[in-house]
C-alpha cells in the first residue's frame, strides 16, 4: 500500500475515498485515536491522529493522485493537494500502526509487585506460601495517579514474575491471589490496576514471565499449554492491553512443584514463540510485544535506561527469540531487516521490587532527567519502574522524586522557542506547501519538510528574529516513511558566520540534543547524509530552568 494524504477532517477523507473507489481504485482509511501531545511533552490527553488515506494497489498510485489533484484544483482548504509532488516513498523497514501508537507514548511505567515485595527478594524461588501476599492498604488509584502525574502514558504490571505467583485468580493454578489472605482470597490486582488505568486515561499492559519456578511442568510441553492459557486469560478478561512484556530469563533452579531441581530449556524452540505471539495478534491486534527479539519493540541491552548515542529503530533480528539475540540491541542496526525500536527499562530504585532498605536510594530528579534524555531523547521509549510497597502504594520518597522530575521537564518544554521563526530550506519537495520548511515548527506530527528525490544533503535555517538563549534542540523524523537520516549537524550563527555545535547520527521518533547554553538569532540543521530524501517533522528549541542548571 502507498500513502496518499492525511487531513484533519475524517469526513473529507471519506469523500475522497468514495471518489477514488468510484473510479475502481481500492483505498484504505486509517484513523486511530491514541495518547498524543503535539510536541511530545506536556499535559497528556487523548487526541486524534489525523486520518490517512492509502491506496491498496501500488500500481494505481499515480492514477489516484491525478484524480485527487483534479478534484482539489483551485481549492484553498488544503494546500497539500495543490502540489504536483507526491509524498516520498517509504525507505527501509517502516513501523506498523501499532508501533506508531507505541512510539507516541514515549514514557510509561513498570509495576513490580508480587510475593517478592513481602519476602524482600528480587527473584522468588517458587516455593513461597500464597499467604505471604497481603498488602495492608492497597490502592490502585493512588498507584496510577502517581504514574499519570509523572507524565507516564501507561503502566505494565508484573502479572506473573519468575516465582509463578499470579496477581489474578487464574483458573489454571492455585498459586495466586485467590489463596492469599488479601481481601479474603477475592482480590484481583490485575483487575484493579487495569480499571484504575482506564479511569485515569492511561494505558494498561501486562508482564507474563515465560519462566515459572513454581509450576511442576516447566521444561515440558504441558507447561506451554498452561502458559498460553494464562496469556489468553490476560488478553480477554482485562480490556485492551497496550503491551505484553516477555522477559528473557529462562530456566534454572526452582521449586517446580516440589522437585526442587535445576531445569534447562532451549529457548530457541521450547516456547514455540511464533505460535505464542500469534495468540496476542489474534486477541489483541493493537497490542505490541516486547522482548530482546520483539516482535514489536526490543530491549535496549541494559537495565540502566540508557540507549546508545546512535540508536536506530531497525535491527537484524535473524532467528532471535526472547533471551537469545545476537544483534546490537543498544544501538540497533542499519539498515536492518525489521522495524524494532528500543525500550529503556530502569527502576527508580536499585532493585525492581520494593525493599525498605532502599528508601534512601531513590533516584533523584536530576538522575531521572539524565535518563530521560538518554532514552526518550535518543528515539527510544522509557519504561520506569515504580515498585509498590508492602501497603500496596507508591512510597513517598518515590513520589517526591517523580514530582520534581515532572516539574523540571514541564518547565523545560512548556515553550518552544522556535515558534514564530522564519524557516527556509535549501530544497523543498516540489517547491510547494505540502512539504514546506515551515512544517517543522507547526506543532503537528503529520506534516513534514521533505526534499526532492535524490536530494539527500540539505539544510534548514530557523531565523528567530532576535537573539534567544536555549540549551535543548528537539528533532523528529516523520516515522511512517521510515528512519531516513543517517548523519546531521547543528550550527549557530555567531560573529557573522555559521559555527557547528553538534554532530549526530540517528534521529527517529525524537532526538533531544542537550548542550551548554548558547544565545543566537539563527540556527541551522544540516542533513549531511541520508539514505533517501529526508522527512523532518519537528525542529524545536527549549531552555532548561535555572534549577536544573544549578
Domain boundaries, the chain: 2-82, 98-413, 422-549
What pLDDT score was predicted for residue 8?
43
Upper half-sphere CA count for residue 291 (Cβ side, 13 Å): 25
Topology classification of domain 98-413 = TIM Barrel (3.20.20)
Topology classification of domain 2-82 = Alpha-Beta Plaits (3.30.70)
Residue 519: which region, alpha, beta or left (left: phi > 0; alpha: psi -120 to 50)?
beta
- Whether the CB-CB separation of 2 and 28 falls below 8 Å is answered with no
CA distance 213 to 263: 9
What pLDDT score was predicted for residue 15?
64
What pLDDT score was predicted for residue 63?
84
At 142, give phi and psi (nearest 5°).
-65, -45
What pLDDT score was predicted for residue 85?
85
Q: How large is the C-alpha radius of gyration of the chain? A: 25
Burial class (CB in 10 A: 0-12, 13-18, 19+), 78: middle
What pLDDT score was predicted for residue 550?
53
Tell me the sheet residues that pair with 344.
382
What SS3 class is residue 173? coil
Q: Which three cell numbers stand for residue 502?
A: 553538534
pTM of the complete model: 0.86
One DSSP character per residue, 257-281 reads: GGT-EEE---TTTTT-HHHHHHHHH
Upper half-sphere CA count for residue 143 (Cβ side, 13 Å): 33
pLDDT tens-place values along the chain, 550 residues long: 777 776 544 445 656 777 787 788 988 877 543 333 333 332 223 333 456 788 888 788 888 877 877 765 544 444 444 445 899 999 999 999 999 999 999 999 999 999 999 999 999 999 999 999 999 999 999 999 999 999 999 999 999 999 999 999 999 999 999 999 999 999 999 999 999 999 999 999 999 999 999 999 999 999 999 999 999 999 999 999 999 999 988 899 999 999 999 999 999 999 999 999 999 999 999 999 999 889 999 999 999 999 999 999 999 988 888 888 878 999 999 999 999 999 999 999 999 999 999 999 999 999 999 999 999 999 999 999 999 999 999 999 999 999 999 999 999 999 999 999 999 999 999 998 899 999 999 999 999 999 999 999 999 999 999 999 999 999 999 999 999 999 999 999 999 999 999 999 999 999 999 999 999 999 999 999 999 999 999 999 999 998 765 5
What SS3 class is residue 197? helix
What pLDDT score was predicted for residue 549?
55
CATH class of 422-549: mainly beta
Upper half-sphere CA count for residue 321 (Cβ side, 13 Å): 16
Task: Tell me the CA distances in angstroms from 386 to 111, 257, 391, 489, one per residue in order.
Answer: 5, 31, 14, 37
CA 517 to chain centre: 29
Tally helices (H) and strands (E) across the chain.
11, 24
What pLDDT score was predicted for residue 99?
97
What pLDDT score was predicted for residue 154?
98
At 67, give phi and psi (nearest 5°).
-65, -45
What pLDDT score was predicted for residue 72?
57
**Helices 189-200 and 140-149, axial angle in degrees (round to 10):** 40
Q: CA torsion angle for 176, 177, 180, 186 (degrees, to 10)?
A: -140
Our CA angle for 378, 86, 39, nearest 5°, is 30
What pLDDT score was predicted for residue 12?
54
Amino acid at each position: 500500500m502507498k500513502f496518499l494524504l492525511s487531513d484533519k477532517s475524517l469526513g473529507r477523507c471519506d469523500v475522497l475515498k468514495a471518489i477514488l473507489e468510484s473510479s475502481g481504485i481500492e483505498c484504505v482509511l486509517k484513523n486511530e485515536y491514541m495518547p498524543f501531545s503535539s510536541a511530545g511533552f506536556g499535559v497528556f490527553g487523548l487526541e486524534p491522529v489525523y486520518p490517512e488515506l492509502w491506496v491498496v494497489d501500488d500500481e494505481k498510485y499515480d492514477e489516484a493522485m491525478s484524480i485527487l489533484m483534479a478534484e482539489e484544483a483551485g481549492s484553498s482548504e488544503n494546500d497539500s493537494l495543490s502540489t504536483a509532488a507526491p509524498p516520498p516513498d517509504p525507505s527501509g523497514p517502516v513501523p506498523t500502526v501499532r508501533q506508531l501508537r507505541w512510539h507516541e507514548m514515549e514514557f510509561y511505567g513498570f509495576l513490580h509487585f508480587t510475593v517478592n515485595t513481602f519476602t524482600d527478594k528480587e527473584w522468588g524461588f517458587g516455593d513461597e506460601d500464597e499467604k505471604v501476599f497481603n498488602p495492608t492498604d492497597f490502592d490502585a488509584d493512588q498507584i496510577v495517579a502517581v504514574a499519570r502525574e509523572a507524565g507516564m502514558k501507561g503502566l505494565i504490571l508484573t502479572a506473573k514474575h519468575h516465582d509463578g505467583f499470579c496477581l489474578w485468580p487464574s483458573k489454571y493454578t492455585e498459586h495466586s491471589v485467590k489463596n492469599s489472605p488479601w481481601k479474603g482470597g477475592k482480590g484481583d490486582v490485575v483487575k484493579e490496576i487495569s480499571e484504575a488505568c482506564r479511569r485515569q486515561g492511561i494505558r494498561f499492559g501486562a508482564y507474563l514471565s515465560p519462566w515459572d519456578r513454581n509450576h511442576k511442568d516447566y521444561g515440558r510441553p504441558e507447561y506451554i499449554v498452561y502458559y498460553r492459557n494464562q496469556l489468553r486469560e490476560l488478553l480477554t478478561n482485562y480490556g485492551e492491553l497496550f503491551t505484553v512484556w516477555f522477559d528473557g530469563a529462562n530456566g534454572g533452579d526452582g521449586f517446580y512443584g516440589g522437585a526442587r531441581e535445576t531445569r534447562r530449556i532451549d529457548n530457541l524452540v521450547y516456547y514455540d514463540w511464533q505460535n505464542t505471539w500469534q495468540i496476542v495478534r489474534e486477541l489483541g491486534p493493537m497490542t505490541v510485544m516486547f522482548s530482546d527479539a520483539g516482535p514489536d519493540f526490543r530491549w535496549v541491552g541494559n537495565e540502566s535506561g540508557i540507549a546508545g548515542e546512535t540508536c536506530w529503530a531497525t535491527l537484524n533480528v535473524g532467528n532471535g527469540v526472547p533471551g537469545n539475540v545476537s544483534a546490537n540491541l543498544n544501538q540497533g542496526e542499519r539498515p536492518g531487516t525489521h522495524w524494532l525500536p528500543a525500550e529503556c527499562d530502569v527502576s527508580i530504585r536499585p532493585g525492581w521490587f520494593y525493599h525498605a532498605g532502599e528508601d534512601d536510594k531513590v533516584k533523584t530528579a536530576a538522575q531521572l532527567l539524565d535518563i530521560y534524555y538518554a532514552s526518550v531523547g535518543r528515539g527510544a521509549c522509557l519504561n520506569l519502574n515504580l515498585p509498590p510497597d508492602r501497603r500496596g502504594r507508591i512510597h513517598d520518597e518515590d513520589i517526591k522524586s517523580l514530582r520534581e522530575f515532572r516539574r523540571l521537564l514541564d518547565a523545560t518544554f512548556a515553550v518552544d522557542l522556535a515558534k514564530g521563526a522564519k524557516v527556509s530550506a535549501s530544497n523543498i519537495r516540489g517547491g510547494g506547501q505540502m512539504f514546506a520548511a515551515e512544517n517543522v515548527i507547526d506543532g503537528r506530527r503529520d506534516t513534514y519538510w521533505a526534499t526532492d528525490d535524490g536530494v539527500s544533503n540539505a539544510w534548514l535555517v530557523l531565523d528567530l528574529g532576535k537573539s534567544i538563549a536555549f540549551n535543548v534542540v528537539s528533532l523528529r523524523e516523520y516515522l511512517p516513511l521510515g528512519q531516513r537520516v543517517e548523519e546531521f549537524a547543528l550550527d549557530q550563527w555567531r560573529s557573522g558566520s555559521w559555527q557547528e555545535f553538534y554532530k549526530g547520527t540517528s534521529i527517529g521518533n525524537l532526538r533531544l540534543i542537550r548542550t551548554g547554553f548558547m544565545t543566537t538569532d539563527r540556527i541551522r540543521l544540516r542533513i549531511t547524509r541520508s539514505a533517501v530524501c529526508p522527512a523532518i517533522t519537528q525542529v524545536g528549541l527549549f531552555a532548561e530552568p535555572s534549577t536544573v542548571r544549578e
